[in-house]
A and B are shown apart, each in its own frame.
Chain A
Amino acid sequence: MVESMDPPKSASVATQNQAAIQPVLETRALGVRADGRELLRGINLSIAPRQVFGIIGPSGAGKSTLLKCLNRLVELTPGLRVSGDVRFHEQSIYASNVDVDALRARIGMLFQQPVVFPKSILQNVIFGTRHLGRVPRKEWAAVAERALGEAALWDEVKDRLHESALRLSVGQQQRLCLARTLAVDPEVILMDEPTSALDPKSTESIEALIFQLKQKRAVILVTHNLGQARRVTDSLACIVVRDGAGQVVECGPSQEVFRRRDGPNETVEDFGFCSSTQRR
């Protein structure tokens, strides 16, 4: 299964030739309303395969909501209405015949706070796999090893797979959550400020992992941290609140976005194009 997903040799030039490559995920005039209040308006993004797509912007601009629209997790929050469209491999994910659960297995998500279940490490890793029923039981151990290896956690936990996952450090828990997502083998991974709860060392390891991940998958990374955006993203979109709703004000290859708007500070709030935002 993994072998078939090996990237072609041209993967490294993917970002240079974005226009020529089919986007894996695309939003068209995407908007979100909550009880009459507009949260997001007119979001048009195109995410190429095997790249890290960064989304930056101040708190409250709707970055997390946007991310949750991309695998319809937004529907778990009552009262939110989505307009426009999100297309995954050219197919609308909001069409009535879409199997939402299957979609979410293909577009995985990593949250700001690691969410481990009160079970053993092994149980956590195969949590998605065992329920999806695509992998026979006797291969679960192999899946767990592969996923933990991919999340750079295997060496740390291989001798205590049956211990409670709650006993891991927060940084390890976050990598465990990543392993759990990877075990399901998604094509796209959504990351909602995955390092904001972590110490610098764990942050570094997650960033290193993101580099590895984009060899095979697209990663969409919401981040607060401009340094991180600069280090790991290939493309970048900046979302700020304009006229009462979160909108994309800047989008393109990361280097260009940074060249256009470079400043000495490393926080979004001080970054030139975000200074006019309405802050709550």
Chain B
Amino acid sequence: MRKVKHLVFKSAAGACAALACGVLAMIALAIAWRGLPALSWQFFTEQIRLVGAAGGIFYNLIGTFILIGTALLVSAPMAVGLALGHGVYLRGHRHQDKLTLLLYLLNGVPSILFGLFGLIVFVKFLGLGKTWLAGGILLGMLILPTVTVALVERMTSLPARYIEAAAGLGLTQSQIIWSVIFPQSLGGLFTGSLLGLARAAGETAPIMFTATIFAGATFPTAIKESPVLSLPYHIFVLAQDSFDPSVGAKLWGTALTLLGLVFLLSLLALPLRLKIHEEAHHG
């Protein structure tokens, strides 16, 4: 009887795993199948022409890199501050749980609401207009919980004996933070940031009202009123127009590029994670 139960559960779990992998594989294959023919050197180096029916996605790539780069610069220092507050200053304090809750709430905010918030606050109220900066800040806020949680997890997994050893030598708390806790948690910041950026690269909603346009932008030249092109918004617009076969090819090419970028960022995070696990076991 137990053997049968075991077998049933095992096959059910296996089926679920296979289904999940299958869906992922199907998406990747479907996009690759249609997108691969569109890829060429020109596709990456030319700018958009004929309303997306011709040309390439050079400035869309540049725009997406600018947006996620800004998101990284915005989220990393805030994540460090939050994680130190959470893991060090609020350690064992009753507000620690509240901060955790807050982070999960922030993580649960639908991305379209970030977009609306940005439209109201940055674009209108602060008068920035549609600009890369507004989008970058919003994406930074969007990925803040991801980065912070990764950093907090790394900090909590730091064995207490390191802190005790440093304190036993007479180091002050801030010296311990900067010479022990922070350097040994840096891996968490890297993995969290890469995973966060992988997510930010694909988000459309936060940037569509605030930072990105479909055509006509190159490198940003100012802080205000300086929108950029981007990969996800390009897909969003082309998808509404995809009955035209030449547009369709560009659409799938862009989708494949975005998928590749996201996979790349996630894969970069993987070896870092494994290295950290190794260190944790070693130490």
A residues engaging B (CB < 8 A)? 71, 73, 76, 78-79, 101-106, 108-109, 111, 113, 115, 117-118, 127-128, 131-132, 166, 177, 180-181, 184
Determine whether the beta carbon of B160 is less than 8 Å from that of A131: no
Determine whether the beta carbon of B168 is less than 8 Å from that of A117: no
The CA of A127 and the CA of B171, in the complex, are separated in Å by 9
With a cutoff of 8 Å between Cβ atoms, the chain B residues found around residue A76 in the complex are 160, 163-164, 167
Does B162 lie at the interface of the complex (its beta carbon under 8 Å from any beta carbon of A)?
Answer: yes
Kindly supply a per-residue 1/0 record for chain B positions 145-184, scoring 1 wherever the CB is within 8 Å of any chain A CB and 0 otherwise: 0000000000000001111111111111001000110001
Given contacts A113-B161, A118-B279, whether A127 and B166 have CB atoms under 8 Å apart is yes
Determine whether the beta carbon of A78 is less than 8 Å from that of B91: yes
Determine whether the beta carbon of A115 is less than 8 Å from that of B165: yes
Does B108 lie at the interface of the complex (its beta carbon under 8 Å from any beta carbon of A)?
Answer: no
Determine whether the beta carbon of B163 is less than 8 Å from that of A108: no
Determine whether the beta carbon of A115 is less than 8 Å from that of B162: yes
With a cutoff of 8 Å between Cβ atoms, the chain A residues found around residue B5 in the complex are none
Which 8 pairs across A and B sit closest by C-beta, in order of nearness?
A: A105-B170, A128-B169, A78-B92, A109-B168, A115-B165, A104-B170, A115-B161, A131-B175
The CA of A210 and the CA of B170, in the complex, are separated in Å by 22
> Within the complex, what minimum Cβ distance (angstroms) separates B176 from chain A?
9
> Within the complex, what minimum Cβ distance (angstroms) separates B189 from chain A?
16
Which among B162, B165, B170, B279 has the highest number of chain A CB atoms within 10 Å? Answer: B170
**Sample of 16 further A-B pairs with CB below 8 A, known A73-B167, A79-B92:** A73-B168, A101-B167, A101-B172, A104-B167, A104-B169, A104-B170, A105-B170, A115-B161, A115-B164, A115-B165, A117-B165, A117-B180, A131-B179, A180-B169, A181-B169, A184-B170
Determine whether the beta carbon of A184 is less than 8 Å from that of B169: yes
**Nearest CB to that of A181 among chain B residues?**
B169
The CA of A111 and the CA of B162, in the complex, are separated in Å by 11
| Contact of A111 (CB < 8 Å), options: B165, B170, B171 | B165
With a cutoff of 8 Å between Cβ atoms, the chain A residues found around residue B169 in the complex are 104-105, 108, 127-128, 131-132, 180-181, 184
| 22 sampled A-B residue pairs with Cβ under 8 A | A73-B164, A76-B160, A78-B92, A79-B92, A101-B171, A101-B172, A102-B170, A104-B167, A104-B169, A108-B169, A109-B164, A111-B164, A113-B161, A115-B161, A115-B162, A118-B184, A127-B179, A128-B170, A131-B169, A131-B170, A131-B175, A132-B170
Kindly supply a per-residue 1/0 record for chain B positions 183-210, scoring 1 wherever the CB is within 8 Å of any chain A CB and 0 otherwise: 0100000000000000000000000000
The CA of A117 and the CA of B180, in the complex, are separated in Å by 8
**Nearest CB to that of A177 among chain B residues?**
B165
With a cutoff of 8 Å between Cβ atoms, the chain A residues found around residue B91 in the complex are 78
With a cutoff of 8 Å between Cβ atoms, the chain A residues found around residue B184 in the complex are 118
> Within the complex, what minimum Cβ distance (angstroms) separates A70 from chain B?
11
Determine whether the beta carbon of B171 is less than 8 Å from that of A128: yes
Kindly supply a per-residue 1/0 record for chain B positions 251-283, scoring 1 wherever the CB is within 8 Å of any chain A CB and 0 otherwise: 000000000000000000000000000010011
Considering the complex, which residues of chain B in the window 83-100 have a beta carbon less than 8 Å from any beta carbon of chain A? 91-92
**Nearest CB to that of A104 among chain B residues?**
B170
The CA of A101 and the CA of B279, in the complex, are separated in Å by 29
With a cutoff of 8 Å between Cβ atoms, the chain B residues found around residue A105 in the complex are 169-170
With a cutoff of 8 Å between Cβ atoms, the chain A residues found around residue B170 in the complex are 101-106, 128, 131-132, 184
**Nearest CB to that of A134 among chain B residues?**
B170
Considering the complex, which residues of chain B in the window 64-118 have a beta carbon less than 8 Å from any beta carbon of chain A? 91-92
The CA of A245 and the CA of B256, in the complex, are separated in Å by 67
With a cutoff of 8 Å between Cβ atoms, the chain A residues found around residue B167 in the complex are 73, 76, 101, 104
**Nearest CB to that of B159 among chain A residues?**
A115
The CA of A177 and the CA of B165, in the complex, are separated in Å by 9
With a cutoff of 8 Å between Cβ atoms, the chain A residues found around residue B160 in the complex are 76
With a cutoff of 8 Å between Cβ atoms, the chain B residues found around residue A131 in the complex are 169-172, 175, 179
With a cutoff of 8 Å between Cβ atoms, the chain B residues found around residue A71 in the complex are 168
Considering the complex, which residues of chain B in the window 18-55 have a beta carbon less than 8 Å from any beta carbon of chain A? none
With a cutoff of 8 Å between Cβ atoms, the chain B residues found around residue A113 in the complex are 161
With a cutoff of 8 Å between Cβ atoms, the chain B residues found around residue A109 in the complex are 164-165, 168
The CA of A202 and the CA of B172, in the complex, are separated in Å by 32
Determine whether the beta carbon of B168 is less than 8 Å from that of A181: yes
With a cutoff of 8 Å between Cβ atoms, the chain A residues found around residue B168 in the complex are 71, 73, 104, 108-109, 111, 181
